[in-house]
Amino acid sequence: MEGIFKQLVRRLTFLFLSLVGTIILIAIILITYKEEEEKMDQIDVLDETILEWDAEKLIINNPKVTDIVMNGYYLVAESSKFMGPLAKDPSKRYSGNNLSCTNCHLNGGTLSGSASWIDILDRFPQFRGRENKIGTIEERINGCMERSMNGIKLDETSGQMKAIIAYIDWISKELNDLNSKNFKGYPAIKIPEVAVDLKIGSKIYERECLLCHAKNGEGIRYENFEKGYLYPPLWGDDSYNDGAGMHRVITAAAFIKNNMPYLQATWEKPKLTDEEAFHVAGYINSFQRPEKLNKTADFPDKKLKPVSTPYGPWSDNFSPKQHKYGPFPPIISYYKKEFGLTKTK
C-alpha cells in the first residue's frame, strides 16, 4: 500500500516537474522572441513606400510611358548594363563604374533630399563655377558621367542624352507629387566647427553602414550582376572618382544625413546628426578611389571653388588636409573677408 502511494507521488512529482520545465522553456522562447522583436523595432525602418519605389508600376508597365522615356529610365536605373562596363556593345560603354545614376538620385530621381531631378529643367542653363560659364543640362549630366560615374561624356545630341532628358522631363510632369519638397540639391547641414575625426567616422561606419556597404566599402552585388549593385560601393576602383561632388566632405555629409542609412533616414526624419554625418563622410572619402585626370583645370576662377574641394590649387594658403577634412569655418571666414564671398560648401 505504501509502495503504491510512493510510486504515485513520484509519478505526480515527475509530471509536475515536466510541466514546470515546459512552461519555463516556453517562457524563455517567448522572451527571446520578444527581445528580437524589440531589436527590430529599434532599427526603426521607415515606411518603406517612401524609399522603395515601384518602378514596375510607375514606369515599366505604365502605358503612358513612351519608348524614349522608358529608355531614359533604363539608362539611369541600370546604367552599367545600358551605358557602362556591362553593356554588350563596347562602343556603348560610357560610364566607367558599375554604379547607376539612381544610386545617388534615389527612387528614380524623384526623392526629395537626394538631389531629385523633378522640375530641374527649369533651372538650366545655369552658371557653373566648375567651368566658369553658363552650363546646360547636357553639360550637367556629363559632369556626373565624368566624375560620379567615372566615365566619359555622352554626345550632347546622342539618343542616350535625349532619352535621359526626356525621362527627367516626364517625371517632372507625371510624378511631380512624389517630390514632397522642392530642394535644390541637398538640404544643407550646419558645418561643424571641428575637423573630421576618422576614428569617430570609423565607429559610425561600423555601426550604421557596414551591414550594407561592406567591410572595405566594396558594397554588395546583385547575384545576377547584370543589374549592378544591391548596395553600391563607397570607395575603391568601382566607386565615384576623386573629382566627384560626393568626394567633397560637406556635400557627402549632406547626402548622408538626409538619406542614409537607407530605409532608416530621410530629410524629414534623419538618423545621424550633422556632425556624425560629417565624420562618416570624411571616413568614406579617406580611402583610395579612381583618379579624375586634369582636375587642375576645374574652377578656372579658383575663388569659386567649394572650400571642401580636396584637390588644389586654391586661392588661399590653407593646407590640402584642411581642405579635405576641415575645420572649415576658418576657410569660410577667409573668403568672406578677402573676397566678400559666402561659401556654403
Nearer to ligand HEC, 138 or 316 (CB): 138
The residue among 42 and 317 lying less far from ligand HEC, judged by its C-beta, is: 42
Is 167 or 314 the residue whose CB approaches ligand HEC more closely?
A: 167
262 near ligand HEC, judged by CB under 6 A = yes
Measured CA angle at 145 (ends 324, 120), to 5 deg:
90
Q: Are 345 and 309 within 8 A, CB to CB? A: no
Among 58, 69, 164, 196, binds ligand HEC (CB under 6 A): 164
How far apart, in whole angstroms, are the C-alpha atoms of residue 247 and residue 282?
9
Secondary structure (3-state) at 274: helix
Pattern 12-51, ligand HEC, x by CB under 6 A: ----------------------------------------
Torsion of CA 187, 188, 189, 191, to 10 degrees: 170
The minimum distance between CB 102 and ligand HEC, in angstroms, equals: 5
Within positions 57 to 86, which residues make up the interface with ligand HEC, using CB under 6 A? Answer: 76, 79
- Determine if 212 is a binding residue for ligand HEC (CB under 6 A): yes
Neighbours of 20 (CB within 10 A): 10
User: Looking at 72, 135, 245, 290, which residue binds ligand HEC (CB under 6 A)?
Assistant: 245
Task: Output the residue with the shortest Cβ distance to ligand HEC.
Answer: 185
- Do the strands 133-135 and 126-128 form a parallel or antiparallel pair, or are they unpaired? antiparallel
- Taking CB under 6 A as the binding criterion, the range among 8-16, 21-29, 240-248, 287-295 that sits at the site for ligand HEC is 240-248
DSSP state of 177: G
**Can you say how many angstroms the Cα of residue 144 is from the centroid of all Cα atoms in its chain?**
14
Residue 318's CB: how many other CB atoms inside 10 A? 16
What does the alpha-carbon distance between residue 312 and residue 99 come to, in Å, rounded to a whole number?
A: 27
343 binds ligand HEC (CB under 6 A): no
Which of 175, 196, 250, 256 binds ligand HEC (CB under 6 A)? It is 256
Distance between CA atoms of 109 and 327, rounded to whole angstroms?
32
Distance of CA 149 to the CA centre of its chain: 13
Q: CB-wise, 191 or 244, nearer to ligand HEC? A: 244
Please report, in angstroms and rounded to a whole number, the separation of the first and last CA atoms in the chain: 94
Q: Which residues contact 315 (CB under 8 A, 6 or more apart)?
A: 302, 303, 305
The single residue among 59, 69, 104, 250 that binds ligand HEC, judged by CB under 6 A, is 104
**Does 251 participate in binding ligand HEC (rule CB under 6 A)?**
yes
Rounded CA separation 260/262 (Å): 5
From the list 58, 175, 189, 209, which residue makes contact with ligand HEC (rule: CB under 6 A)? 209
191 binds ligand HEC (CB under 6 A): no
Return the range that interacts with ligand HEC (CB under 6 A); candidates 15-23, 172-180, 228-236, 312-320.
Answer: 228-236
Q: Which residues within the stretch 283-302 sit at the binding site for ligand HEC (CB under 6 A)? A: 284
Which lies closer to ligand HEC via its Cβ, residue 145 or residue 332?
A: 145
**Which of the ranges 35-43, 58-66, 207-215, 318-326 carries the binding residues for ligand HEC, by CB under 6 A?**
207-215
Out of 213, 279, 323, 324, the residue judged to bind ligand HEC by CB under 6 A: 213
Backbone angles phi, psi at 70, to 5 degrees: -60, -45
Residue 236 CB burial class (10 angstroms; 0-12, 13-18, ≥19): middle
Rounded CA separation 51/269 (Å): 12
Footprint of ligand HEC (CB under 6 A) = 76, 79, 99, 101-106, 115, 117, 120, 123, 140-141, 144-145, 148-149, 164, 184-186, 208-209, 211-213, 231-234, 240, 244-246, 251, 255-256, 260-263, 280, 284
